[in-house]
Structure 1
Amino acid sequence: MAVEIAMTAAPQTLLQVATPALILDEARLAANVRRMDDHLAPFGVGFRPHVKSVKSPAVIRDFLGGAVPITVSTLLEARMFAEAGFNDILYAVGIVPAKLDAVCALAATGVRMQIILDDAGVADDIAHALAGRSGVTALIEVDCDGHRSGIAPDADDLLVIARTLAEAGVFGGVMTHAGESYACEGADAIAAHAELERSGLVRAAERLRAAGLACPVVSMGSTPTALFARALEGITEVRAGVYMFQDLVMAGIGVCRPDQIALSVLATVIGYQKTQGRLVIDAGWMAMSRDRGTASQRVDQGYGLVCDGAGAIIGDLVITSVNQEHGLVGNRDGTPIDLSAYPIGIRLRVLPNHACATAAQHTAYVLADSSGKVTAHYPRFSGW
């Protein structure tokens, strides 16, 4: 894949990058994007990537081919991507009236804004506030798996909310997020959950249409279900976010292999715990986050799986514990490391449990090719 670099830096290698640093493996990232594209192509559905993990318009533009329709989880993401030329945005967190002015301000600049809600009272408020205004439509969030928010496909309020929004001319359709897919394991289990998600959402859309309400958008998605869905009839678009980077939680449920994870933290060995046979690195929880998302999985990856400087996994080395700026690296089973194999100053790369949480600790990505040459620096933002 030819990548148009948005921000270039003087030629250098990872050996010259100050640590800790957030690294993107160019080849793995491109392969993850191709995998999603190839999987969804036969279904003929739209795709709306979620940018909450990336939080960098330049990365999305370069690796996804331009200012594509996107999903965001914060209004800051919406504003930053709108300023970068992205003009079709779904704000996929339940709207409240106090946030509507910010949404409408973006719509006034020519951005197509979609918001979501699951409450009849909020629907009344939104319908009143948006009456006579253009550029904003509302989707009803449907709960297909009891994960977090949304209303059941068969709930009476589905029709009540839709009619309220339709009478104001702002009803756009339905959406769902299969968050419980993260608790599945293996292709068959994930595919079954994808069908649960699809069928529940389509049932909601069919109820609305049977009641005489147009339902143009039927949007589903999570990285597991997007990559393992075997049928998408009735769905108009799919959403996914962490698929670009992948992480150890995704690897733990069989969505990817650890060697397909494109995101890592570059760290330096700065000392030893000689009595315990552990390495000390300059990447603690400020660089990795405190996320322990693999602790409940079959393989506990500690605070991250350790690789050599080229990105190759080193046996069962994991970060076993963290302080603010220190990480302790040991074998998963607690046996001592041969410390002589890791001289002070050597570089290591650590694969994260949760890509979103780890990336949130950093202000930029370093893009590197398979030889370790740095090919770009991409800024990223944080906040709400």
Structure 2
Amino acid sequence: MPLLKPITSPTLLANEAICKANIARMAKKAAKHHVALIPHFKTHQSLEVGNWYKEFGINEITVSSIQMAAYFSGQSWKNIHIAFPFNPLEINLLNRLVKDHSISIQLVNAEVAQALADRLTSPVEFFIEIDAGYGRAGVEVSDFGKIEEIMRIANRSDKLDFKGFYIHAGHTYHANKEGIHAIHGQTKAALRMLKDKYCDEFPDLITRSGDTPSCSIEEDFEGIDEIGPGNFAFYDLTQASIGSCDKSDIAVALAAPVVDIRKEKREILIHGGGIHLAKDVLINNDGTNNYGEVVLLTEQGWTIPATTSFLKSISQEHGLIKATDELINNIQIGDILGILPVHSCMTADCMRGYFSLKGEKLDHLKGQKAY
């Protein structure tokens, strides 16, 4: 079935070949540096895409919620790690899930550790999340009192097993290559320090780092045992802008119908707005907003034009493209344009499904249809 013919409304396309190439490249890097790759699935949230990872020897995964863990639990993963400070209101859900599946969690305070120690019905491994500069979540790297309070609770419990330390250096997503290198150095130093401090008591202690920019750009992972990037499977314009990938590595594009053309203004109105792409934005060199960039769709995928047309503004359903002369002179109302997302994780979450380039629907945790 032709790819573009059945598309009548905004539809997220997933390029399997590009996605697999991205996975293969990250798996090769992990093997080169002798670190385990435990990829984060919050970007794609798809069972079918999850199966693609198995071709590259992946047997453990990371997710961002207990609901996502349950969604992937039927795929026979060796372990599913929930990389989010554990929510004590979900202890009953966790107890049901760990009866039949290996699940690990993340702790950032003694209160939740104690609640788990009191109410868990099966053993659960946990990481202590460390904040080494991002400021979003985690125990400050120098707060040994809080770290050891969590450890003491676990030591008194037969249900909590300390696994190691986890850092997600999310501020790399807002840095240039020099900044990413500096942040990655801080992450390595923090994890190495913590491992040296506690390895006598916990000789099997594991350290894990989870941000895509560092995992994509850096070549030194001393002190890190495991990496858990997620965005690398699809990548996006943000990752391309900081040097994590090329635009040709972006594996998803929103197919959006053209509904109006204003040649005198070099503007194209598409059906594709915030409810499809989210509202993440980049700032162009001239100070204009960029909510996504145009690619030309083909039956084999898409091509990237030599000159860039971009979404200058979006509202709920509308997207307004600032078009190049070449695009404005070769487009018609009713055509379908592709839009590379600024943030692929959010776009996938908004769209709740995909079409492959073969025209097949691919699942998503939050939806049954791709359009």
Q: CA RMSD in A?
A: 2.3
CA–CA distance in structure 2, aligned partners of residues 21 and 348 of structure 1:
11
State the 1:91 CA deviation: 0.8
Tell me the CA shift for residue 324 of structure 1: 2.5
Secondary structure of 2:116's counterpart equals: helix
Q: How does 1:50-89 map to 2 (within 5 A)?
A: 50-65=40-55, 68-89=59-80
C-alpha distance in 1, partners of 2:209/2:295? 35
Q: 2:140 matched to 1:148? A: no
**1:148-190 deviation digits (Å, cap 9, x = unpaired):** 111123212212211221221422221111111112212x442
> Number of residue pairs matched?
359
CA distance 1:71–1:380, change in 2 (3 Å): same
Which consecutive residues of structure 2, in runs of 5 or more, have no partner in the other structure?
Answer: none
Q: Give the distance between the partners of 1:297 and 1:245, measured in 2 at CA.
A: 25
| Counterpart position of 1:380 | 364
Deviation at 1:228, TM superposition (A): 2.4
Query: Per the alignment, in what secondary structure is the counterpart of residue 360 of structure 1?
Result: helix
- Given the alignment of the two structures, is residue 178 of structure 1 paired with residue 169 of structure 2, yes or no? yes
Code of the residue aligned with 1:34 in structure 2: it is A
Residue identity in the other structure for 1:207? K
> For the structure 1 residues 147 and 206, does the alpha-carbon distance in structure 2 shift closer, same or farther, using more than 3 Å as the test?
same
- What does residue 95 of structure 2 align with? 104
**Residues 181, 218 of structure 2: 8 Å contact kept:** yes
How many Å apart are 1:33 and its aligned residue? 1.0
Task: Please show how residues 1-384 of structure 1 align to structure 2 within 5 Å.
Answer: 11-65=1-55, 68-109=59-100, 111-130=101-120, 133-155=121-143, 156-169=145-158, 170=160, 171-186=162-177, 188-210=178-200, 212-292=201-281, 294-295=282-283, 302-310=290-298, 311-314=302-305, 315-331=307-323, 339-368=328-357, 374=358, 376-382=360-366
Distance (whole Å) between structure 2 residues aligned to residue 298 and residue 240 of structure 1 = 31
Change in CA separation of 1:16 and 1:96 when aligned onto 2, cut-off 3 Å: closer
The answer (yes or no) to whether the contact 1:295–1:301 under 8 Å persists in 2 is yes
Does structure 1 retain, via aligned residues, the 8 Å contact 2:199–2:205?
no
How far residue 301 of structure 1 moved from its aligned partner, in angstroms, is: 5.8
C-alpha separation in 2, matches of 1:231 and 1:102: 39
Q: Counterpart of 2:82 in 1: which secondary structure?
A: strand
What is the deviation of 1:51? Answer: 0.6
Q: CA deviation at 1:299?
A: 7.7
2:293 and 2:189 map into 1 onto residues whose CA distance is 37
Contact map agreement 1:267 1:348 (CA 8 A) in 2: yes
Change (3 A) 1:297 1:241: farther
Structure 2 residue identity aligned to 1:114: S
2:140 is paired with a residue whose SS is coil
Q: Which amino acid aligns with 1:376?
A: E
Q: TM-score if structure 2 supplies the norm length?
A: 0.89
After alignment, is 29-38 or 322-331 more displaced? 322-331
Aligned partners of 1:300, 1:259: CA distance in 2, in Å?
23
TM-aligned CA deviation for residue 316 of structure 1 = 2.2
Structure 1: gaps of 5 or more residues:
1-10, 369-373
Q: CA deviation at 1:23?
A: 0.6
| CA distances 1:60-95 after superposition (whole Å, capped 9, x unpaired) | 112442772111111211111013433511111111
Which whole-Å CA distance do the structure 2 matches of 1:282 and 1:324 have between them?
10
Contact 1:45 1:238 in 2 (8 A): yes
- Decide whether the 8 Å contact of 1:89 with 1:112 is kept in 2: yes
Task: Give the 3 Å change call, closer, same or farther, for CA 51–300 of structure 1 in structure 2.
Answer: farther
Residues 217-244 of structure 1, C-alpha deviations (whole Å, 9 max, x = no match): 2111211111223222332211010000
